[in-house]
Amino acid sequence: MGLLTWAPVVTLVAAVSVGLVGYVLLKDGELPTLQENQFWGPTSRRDAKEDTSIKSFKINISEKVLTDLKTRLKLEFATVDERVADPLERVGFQWGVHKNFLTKVQDHWLHKYDWRTREAWLNKYPHFKTTISGIEIHFQHVKPQKKGKKGTRALLLLHGWPGSFVEYQKLIPQLVEPENSDINFELVIPSLPGFGFSEASSQAGLGPPEIAQIMRTLMLRLGHQKFYVQGGDWGSMIAGDMATMYKDNILGAHMTMCFSFHPRSILKFGAALALPKFLLDDEERPQFSPLLRIITNHIRETGYIHLQATKPETVGVALSYSPSGLASYILEKFSFWTDEKLLSKEDGGISNKYDLDTLLDNVMVHWVGKSTTSFLRIYAETLNPLTSTQLSLDSVPTSVPVSCRNYPKELLAQPKFALMDKFQNLVRFTRAKTGGHFSAFEGPIELAADIVTSLNLMDLTNQIDVD
C-alpha cells in the first residue's frame, strides 16, 4: 500500500521534471554578446594602426604562378597512368572522381582553358580590398547606373564552400538593375576570410558569427547602415547569423540553404523524418523520405566534413601541392550535391549540368589565391568542439524578414514548419521544381528572379526609406 500511495506523487514529480528539462532545452535563447574589435591578423601587426581605406584591386596573376601551375598540371597529366589507379567498372562517381574523368579535366585545363581570358571576365566588375579586424578582405562592389522606381538598396551576397565570389558573376546583371522590380540593388560580393583573395585569419576562433561581424563592418564602411543579405551554403549560415545579431542593420535575408538548429526545429524535423506520411505534404515527402535513404546519403557524403572539422591543415597540404587533387576534391561535390542520381554517370553528370570553364574559374581562384588550406578551416571553427568558439545563436529567434528558396536536391534542408521556430518572420518560402545545392551555378537567372521578388516583398513590409 505504501508504494501505491506514493505512486501519484512520484509520477507528478517525474512529469514536472521532464517538463522543466524540456522547457530549458527547447526554449528560445538570449542573444549573446560578441566581443567587439577582435583582431584576426598576425600578432606582429596587432599594435599597428589599422588602415581602413578602401583600395581598388584587379586580378592579375603573375606569369610565374601560372607557369608553376602549368608545370604541375603537365607532370600530373603525363604520369596519370603511372600514378592513378584505373576506375572500377560500372561504379561511376559513387566513390568519387576517377581517373577517366580526371584526365578529361586535366586535358581541358591544359589545352582549352585560357586563364587570361577568364581573368578578364572576372575583372568585368570592379574589385576592392580593405582591412577589417587585422585581415584584408576582398570584395566586388557593383552599383546600378540608375535608381529604381522606389530607390536603390544595398545587397550583400555571401558564397559558401567550396564556392567563391565566382558563383555570383552570372547573377550580377540580373540583380543590379532587375526587370519587374521597384528597386535596384547595389551589390557587395566579398570573398569570405580565408577564401580566394581574402586574407586568412592568423588566430583561431573565426567562425560564422565572427565572419558576420566582419561583413557588417564592411557594409558600414561602405556607408550602408541598412542592407539586405543573401547567401548559400556557409553564406546562408552567416546571413542567418547576421539577421539574428544585427536586426537594426539587416532589412531582410534570403537563403538557399535554410536550416534551423533551434532545439524545437530539430525536434520537429526529427518527427517529420520519422513520420513523413503524417507531417509532410506531397511536395515535401520525396525530399525528406524514406528515412533510410536520408541516413545513408548523409553517412556516405559527409566524410569530408569530418576531415575538415578535425584535420584541415593535413588535407590542405595535399590540396596545395596538386592542382589535379584540388580540382578533384572540389568538382566531386558538383555531382552528388546537384542530384544524388548523377553518381551513377561516368562523369557524375557534371558535363551536362555545368560549364567546365566556370567550375575551373572557381578552382583557380582558390589555387592562385593560396586558400587551399584556409578555406577548409571554417568547418573546424564551427563543428569541432575542441576548437570552436561558436556563439549560442541556434536557439535565438530571428525577427527580421527571411525568405527561403528550397531546392528539391538540397542536402541540408528542412520543411517550412520546422524553420519557423528560428525564423519567426518567414515572409516567403518557395520550392523550386528542380535544382540542388549549387543554385547560383546551376540556375542563376531563376535564383536571381527569386531574390528580386523576395526583396521587393520585404521592402513593402519594411516601409522604410534607406536611400
Residues marked as catalytic: 233, 379, 437
Parallel/antiparallel/unpaired status of strands 55-57 and 127-132: antiparallel
d(CA 431, CA 407): 6
Q: Edge-to-edge strand order for the sheet containing 250-255?
A: 55-57, 127-132, 135-142, 184-190, 152-158, 227-231, 250-255, 402-406, 426-431
Is the distance from CB of 436 to CB of 412 less than 8 angstroms? no
Classify each residue of 410-447 as buried b or exposed e, where b means 16 or more C-beta atoms within 10 Å of its C-beta: bbebbbbbbbbbbbebbbbbeebeebbbbbbbbbbebb
Secondary structure class of 424 (helix, strand, coil) = coil
Is the distance from CB of 138 to CB of 191 less than 8 angstroms? yes
CA 457 to chain centre: 24
Parallel/antiparallel/unpaired status of strands 184-190 and 227-231: unpaired
> What is the CB-side half-sphere exposure of residue 391 using CA atoms within 13 A?
23
Beta carbons within 10 angstroms of residue 14's beta carbon? 10
Strand partners, 138: 129
Secondary structure class of 405 (helix, strand, coil) = strand
Secondary structure class of 426 (helix, strand, coil) = strand
Tell me the H-state helices in 145-290: 172-176, 208-221, 234-245, 263-274, 276-279, 285-288
d(CA 328, CA 312): 17
| 129 phi and psi angles, rounded to 5 deg | -140, 150
